[in-house]
Amino acid sequence: MGGEYPTMHQANIQQIECLITLADELHFGRTAECLGYSQSRVSQLVADLEARVGARLVERTSRRVALTRVGAQFVDEVRPAYRSLMRTFTRARERALRGAVEELRIGFTGVICEEITGVFRALYEAHGIAVRTHDLPLGSPFAAVLDGEVDAVIAELPVHEPELVVGYRFPPQDQLVAVASDHPLAARDALDVEELAGLDLLHRIGEAPDYWKAARTPPATPRGATIHSTIGITSIQEGLALAASGRQALLTCRPLAEHQSRTDLRFVPVRGLEGTSQLGLVWRGDCTSPQLTALAQLLDADDSVDRRAGARVDPVPTERERATRARRAGHRPPASPHVASTFSTGS
């Protein structure tokens, strides 16, 4: 390149960091404190950047500091790139400190069950790739992977975001409705999907797209009857507690129901929602890597993940019911029955 226009290498990170901080603080003194510089150093860095850009970025008077229109637009455009660069630097430093050369950051909502963590262990043993898990907000499953904060998410499908791809689809699961143990529907063997219109279903709160929220809490039955939903939740535990109160109900997947030992809840299958809950390993299409592909291949090859497909539609017994059945059978009930699951029980 010739010398007619300033090139990117002439603007350094200190200048950009200084302008972004100044845009947040709108005060040269506070900016200097945040960065550990003198005010004169802050002024010089901003002036140098303005010279590189070729336009005034900051208006400064005795009373106020403000970005110019060019400055505001520049900050809006450069801030994501700066954050991405800082995240890359931080990850490299963390890997160096831990001695881990390769690592995947996997986000999830709810709880990751042992079949999946077993695959994580196999990934490290076979390929030397460590996995760090990140707990994500229940109603915002895709934001972290879109922003580059995690490499992939184990999230409920569907996903229609153009930037995202599904690297592996877990076996579909039945949906059940969680109601209080003394709810009029608690004694039923199953409900018809049309009966959901008589319940107040809890919905997820977060940044997820509307189509995804509608898949978690349908606005209407197949015949068009409205399904009411007056309260939102930010965690599964909050949803279970509200369902146990008797005023609301929560749609959830079978593995989550089978991991619960609460006696104040009943999980009733819903006819018409068999095999309608499914998780996927989701990542950005432009960030596909050998590490992610290796994880998807291990999940696909793992028998413990596949064996949960085709679960029967029958009521999930409570702890009290399991104990009663055991006494009738003439033996003591197990203290803490374990039910294997293939899912991050976030649904």
71, 23 Cβ separation under 8 angstroms: yes
Burial tier of 200 (Cβ tally within 10 Å: 0-12, 13-18, 19+):
middle
Give yes or no for a cis peptide into 158 (omega within 30° of 0).
Answer: yes
The kind and range of the H/E element at 179 are strand 175-180
**Which among 149, 147, 137, 216 is positioned nearest to 177, based on CA atoms?**
216
Looking at residue 241, its pLDDT comes to 96
* Contacts with 293 (C-beta within 8 Å, 6 or more apart), sequence order: 167
Residue 299: what pLDDT?
94
CA distance 107 to 134: 5
Q: Are 92 and 49 in contact (CB under 8 A)?
A: no
pLDDT per residue of the chain (347 residues) written in tens, 0 to 9: 445 555 555 568 899 999 999 999 999 999 999 999 999 999 999 999 999 999 999 998 878 999 999 999 999 999 998 988 888 887 777 666 655 457 899 999 877 888 899 999 999 888 888 999 999 999 999 999 999 999 999 999 999 999 999 999 999 999 999 999 999 999 999 999 999 999 999 999 999 999 999 999 999 999 999 999 999 999 999 999 999 999 999 999 998 888 888 899 999 999 999 999 999 999 999 999 989 999 999 999 986 665 443 333 334 444 444 454 445 444 433 333 322 233 334 45
Residues contacting 194, CB < 8 A, separation 6+: 221, 222, 223, 225, 272
Question: How many percent of the chain have pLDDT more than 90?
Answer: 67
- Whole-angstrom Cα distance, residue 141 to residue 154? 8
Cβ atoms of residues 333 and 327 within 8 Å: yes
pLDDT the model gives residue 213: 95
DSSP state of 322: H
- Amino acid in position 272: G
H or E segment to which residue 154 belongs: strand 152-156
Distances from the Cα of 202 to the Cα of 97, 100, 256, 266, 347, angstroms = 43, 41, 16, 16, 12
pLDDT of residue 98: 56
Q: Which residues are within 8 A (CB) of 153 and not within 5 positions of it... i.e. 6 or more apart?
A: 106, 107, 108, 136, 141, 142, 144, 145, 281, 282, 283
Q: Which amino acid is at 35?
A: L
The whole-angstrom separation of Cα 92 and Cα 194 is 52
Residue 103: per-residue pLDDT: 86
pLDDT at 329: 43
Q: Residue 280 has what pLDDT?
A: 96
d(CA 206, CA 235) in angstroms, rounded, equals: 10
